[in-house]
Amino acid sequence: MNWDAFLAFVRGPLFQVALLIFIAGMAYRLFRVVFLGWRRDRVPASGSKAGGVAKSYAKGILIWPFIPWVRNTFRRNPVIYLGGGLFHLGLFTVIFLGTAHMLVWKSLLGFGWPTLPLPIVDLMAVVGITAMLVLLVFRLTNPVMKLITGPAEWLNWLFVFLPMITGYVLTHHLFFRYEVTFSLHMLAIDVMLIWIPFSRISHFMFYFFSRTIHGIEFGKRAVSP
């Protein structure tokens, strides 16, 4: 089996299978929670729930140091805050505004959008990878992180890190031939796609649950979430 055949395999059948497992797995995770039963909240509200939800998302997405409550937490724990924030910023820039990735979306969704020049995307990739390394060291050394980290969390880190690092090696044509790193990159993505539904990386879906609940709970009390 040569690398071209392997690349065709990881870009083709394996990717398809991984994508289908991903879809099935995420649907499973979603409906397992959705159909669990939701208690009606009978508490009379004194504030606007919808307003709370809106604010909750605004704050949840724009968690920047200039918001006072974040500043307070930020001061005590800049590593998670900056590391986590920059990781996500890097990740989203690369997977949505990198040309190669946009073409993936285009092939899946049927439409594309303008992308950023490679040097900028590359910088964001470096930011994301660096943030991941910093977070790893932090997770290895901080007593709180050590306590709340189980085997699954290490795997999460690994399965997210591998696509990122192979992607970086790929764009820079480092160490191996292009199709080799391309294959490894695709393989890492396939593995990650299969892993996501069984892990906490699926938080991107439940984020919308917890943020909404948070907004409702604070909004109904007329408190800024």
Partner 1 sequence: MAEKTMYEHLRDEGLSRRDFLKACGLLAAAMGLSSAPPVAASGLPAHLSRGPSPARMVARAMQARPRVPVIWLEFQDCAGCTEALTRSHSPTLVDLVLTKITIEYHETLAAAAGYQLEENKQKAMAQYHGQYVLVVEGSIPTGAYEAFCTVGGRTALEQLKEAAAGAAAVIATGNCAAFGGLPKASPDPTSAKGVWEIITDKPVVNISGCPAIPEVFTGTLANVLIFGAPPELDSLNRPKPFYAQTVHDRCLRRAFYEAGKYANSFDDEGARKGYCLYKLGCKGPTTYNACASLKWDGGLSFPIQSGHPCLGCSQPGFWDGGGFYQGQSAPLDRPEVVMAAAAGAVGLAAGAGVAVANRSQKKSAGTEE
Partner 2 sequence: MQSQTAMNTFVKETGGWVAAQLEACTRCGMCAEACHFYQGTGNPEYTPVWKVELLRRAYEQRFSPFGKLKVALGISKPITDEDLQHWSTIIYEACTVCNKCALVCPMGIDLGTLIHDVRAATAEAGVVPADLMAAVNKQVEEGSPLGVTDDVFESRLEFVQDEWEVDLPIDKQGAETLVVFSSIEIMKFPANLAAIARILNAAGENWTLSTKAREVVNFGFYEGSHEHTKLFLSRVFEGAKELGVKRIVVTECGHAYDAMRWTSYNLMEVPKGIEITHIVALMGDYVRTGRIKLKKGAYNNGTITFHDACKIQRKGGHIKEPREILGVLAPESFKEMTPNREEAVCCGGGGGVIAIKEADPIRYAAFQLKINQMTAVGAKTVAMSCSNCRLQFLDGIQHFKYDVKVRGLAEMVAEALEEE
Binding site for partner 1 (CB under 8 A): 2-5, 7-8, 11-12, 15-16, 19-21, 23-37, 39, 99-101, 103-104, 106-108, 115-121, 173, 178-179, 182
Least distance from partner 1 to the Cβ atom of residue 128, Å = 18
How buried is residue 218: exposed, middle or buried, by Cβ count under 10 Å (0-12/13-18/19+)?
Answer: buried
Instruction: Return the residue matching tokens 């009379």.
Output: 44
Q: Which two tokens stand for residue 212?
A: 């909404």
Shortest Å, Cβ 45 to partner 1 = 20
Q: Is 113 left (phi over 0), alpha (psi -120 to 50) or beta?
A: beta
Query: What is the chain's alpha carbon radius of gyration, rounded to the nearest angstrom?
Result: 20
Spatial separation of the C-alpha atoms in residues 36 and 214, rounded to whole Å: 19
Token couple for 138 = 């932090």
Site for partner 2 in 144-173 (CB under 8 A): 144-151, 153
- Binding to partner 2, residues 53-112 (CB under 8 A): 56, 60, 63, 68-69, 72-73, 76-77, 80-81, 84
Burial class (CB in 10 A: 0-12, 13-18, 19+), 164: buried
DSSP 63: -
Check binding of 37 to partner 2 (CB under 8 A): yes
Any residues with CB less than 8 A from the CB of 189 and at least 6 apart, and which?
15, 18, 163
Residue 114 in the binding site for partner 2 (CB under 8 A): no
Q: Which is nearer to partner 2, 59 or 185 (CB)?
A: 59
Q: Tell me how many residues contact partner 2 (CB under 8 A).
A: 56
**Which of the listed partners (partner 1, partner 2, none) does 217 bind, with a CB threshold of 5 to 8 Å by partner kind?**
partner 2
Binding residues vs partner 2 (CB under 8 A): 29, 32-34, 36-39, 41-44, 46-47, 56, 60, 63, 68-69, 72-73, 76-77, 80-81, 84, 142-151, 153, 198, 200, 202-203, 206-207, 209-211, 213-215, 217-218, 221-225
